[in-house]
Chain A
């Protein structure tokens, strides 16, 4: 079975600082995908970034990067130059290759950016 663990229930960061949100995972599948989603107060989940288990390089999308350490089974999200609009819940998720691509989610981290 797959499992995602996010150990930071909440984080507070000053605006313009970089922030790292932790995510560790557990799976016996050799092939998998790792995702990060953002959930603002409006409730809708927004896809941020994806990393495949066979990708050699860390994924990047604008201010978001995924620090993928396969041996440690970690997939931390790094947000550079944080903005007030980054305040939200952040979820790490994992998907298996077989099946209907259902995702397993972590508990989430509530990020608050202070001005």
Chain B
């Protein structure tokens, strides 16, 4: 019954390494999102995508990039990891074409990827 899968639950990387966080959804959703969760700050949007090969910056895109080559897969890339990118990363998806007023397009989240950069 898994709907949004994040490939790694826990990762430990070194400063300067390139890091890939993968997210796959099996609900044929158009929209996909990457959030970062930090204590006391809640969830903050890094990037989102509303279609294959389309991407838009969220509130904190600096130091990150994304890739969406296929509808079901949305990857978050840290080109050169830094210690201040140690965090929990949450991927989510939602369908399109229905007004948010109906509440039909709630976000479905993955279990999260906890990244530690040493």
Contacts and interface: CB of A to CB of B under 8 A. Distances in A.
Contact of A102 (B30, B48, B99): B48
Contacts, number: 75
Chain A interface category by residue count: 20 to 34
Chain B CB within 10 Å — which of A31, A43, A95 has the most?
A43
Interface in A17-73: 31-33, 35, 37, 42-45, 47, 50, 52-54
B110 A44 contact: yes
Given A44-B109, A52-B101, A100 B41 contact: no
Contacts of A93: 43
A47 B58 contact: no
Given A50-B106, A105-B43, A106-B42, A43 B101 contact: no
A52 B103 contact: yes
Nearest to A110: B39
Nearest to B95: A101
Nearest to B98: A101
Contacts of A9: 40
Interface stretch (B11-19, B20-28, B72-80, B86-94): B86-94
Interface of A: 4, 6, 9, 31-33, 35, 37, 42-45, 47, 50, 52-54, 91, 93, 95-97, 99-108
Interface of B: 30-31, 33, 35, 40-45, 48-50, 56, 58, 88, 90, 92, 94, 96, 99-103, 105-112, 114
